Amino acid sequence: MPLTLHHLGLSQSERVIWLAEELGIDYKYVFHKRDPIFAPQSIKDLHPAGTAPVMEDDPSPATNSKVVLAESGAIIDYIIAVHGNGRLALTPKDGADYPHFLEWYHFANGSLQPTLFRVMMARGSDPNSPIVARTMDKWQQHLAMLDARLAETGAYLAGKNLTAADIIIFFTLTTMRGFCPLEFDAGEHKHLLAYLKRVGERPAYQKAMKICEGDDFKPLLGPKAETFDILKKL
Ligand SMILES: N[C@@H](CCC(=O)N[C@@H](CS)C(=O)NCC(=O)O)C(=O)O
C-alpha cells in the first residue's frame, strides 16, 4: 500500500483520515502521540515542518518517486487529485457551488484556524487584554458568517453535498476547541450547531474519529467544549 497517513493525537491530521474514509481509499495509518503536547520526534523525522498531518506516497502515481508532504491543504489537494479522482473538490463545472467551495476551503486555514489560534494565545498571556477582545470579535464574526452560510444551504458549506471545504474546516470547530474551550450559542449559532450534528452523523467521520482517538472519544459537536486532559496535566 503506497499511501501512508500520519496522525498526531488530537490534531488537525484527523481531517486527512476523514477524507480518506469519505473517499474510501486504501492507506496505511500511523499514530503519533503528543510529547507532552507538541509533536514527537517521530513526526519531526518525517518532514522539516515537524507538524501533523504528514503524508507519504511511495511511489506516487504522479511522480513515480516518493512524495512526502506536510500542510493539510496540500495533502488534501494531493489525495483528491492523485487518489480520489477529483471527488470532494468542486470545479467550474459544478456551477454556483464552485466559488462557495473555493472561498470556504481557503477560509478554513486562511482565516478561521489562525483566528482561533490567536484567541488561544492571547487568552493564555492576558485574558483581559484588548487583544483578546479584538480577536474574540473576529472569532464571533467568523461564526456569524458560517452560520449565515449554513442557513442558506441547510446542509454543507459549498451547497447540498459534503466537500473538502467541510473536511478542512471541521477540526477548528470541534477538536481544536478542546485546546481553547469556546462555546457556541444555541440561538445565534443554530445552523452551525445543526451542521456539527449533521457531519457528526456521517459514518466516515465517525469511523475516522474512532481510528484517530479511540472508541471512547466523544467528538466536540455540541455548544460546550471541555479542555482536554493533556492540557490540564501541564
Ligand atoms: N498549517 C499546518 C499546521 C500544522 C500544525 O500546526 N499541526 C499541529 C497539530 S494541530 C502540530 O503538529 N502541532 C505540534 C507541534 O507544532 O509541535 C497544516 O495545516 O498542516
233 pLDDT higher than 70: no
Q: Measured on CA atoms in the order 137, 142, 145, 148, is the torsion positive or negative?
A: negative
Q: pLDDT, tens digit, for every residue of 13-57?
A: 999 999 999 999 999 999 999 999 999 999 999 999 999 999 999
Residue 99: the pLDDT is 98
**Cβ(60) – ligand 1 distance below 6 Å:** no
**Those residues with Cβ within 8 angstroms of residue 150's Cβ, 6 or more apart along the chain or in another chain:** 157, 191, 192, 194, 195
Atom of ligand 1 nearest to the CA of 10: 10
**Cβ(11) – ligand 1 distance below 6 Å:** yes
Indicate the top mutation candidate among 35, 47, 51 to test ligand 1's pocket, ranked by most ligand atoms within 8 A of CB.
51
**Cβ(135) – ligand 1 distance below 6 Å:** no
Distance 146 CA to ligand 1 centre (A): 23
200 pLDDT higher than 90: yes
Distance 8 CA to ligand 1 centre (A): 9
Taking alpha carbons only, the member of 230, 217, 221, 199 closest to residue 18 is 199
Atom of ligand 1 nearest to the CA of 109: 19
Domain ranges of the chain: 3-83, 92-232
Name the closest-CA residue to atom 18, ligand 1. Answer: 71
Domain range 3-83, CATH class: alpha beta
DSSP states of the chain = --EEEEEETTSTTHHHHHHHHHHT---EEEEE--SSSS--HHHHTT-TT--S-EEEETT-TTTSS-EEEESHHHHHHHIIIIISTTTTS--GGGTTHHHHHHHHHHHIIIIIHHHHHHHHHHHHH-TTSHHHHHHHHHHHHHHHHHHHHHHHHSS-SSSSS--HHHHHHHHHHTGGGGTS-PPPPTTTTHHHHHHHHHHHT-HHHHHHHHHHH-TT-----SS--PPPHHHHT-
Q: How confident is the model at residue 58 (pLDDT cuts 50, 70, 90)?
A: very high
CA distance 14 to 207: 11
CA distance 39 to 102: 30
Fold match flag (3-83 vs 92-232):
no
Q: How confident is the model at residue 234 (pLDDT cuts 50, 70, 90)?
A: low
Residue 66: the pLDDT is 98
Atom of ligand 1 nearest to the CA of 171: 10
90 pLDDT higher than 70: yes
Domain range 92-232, CATH class: mainly alpha
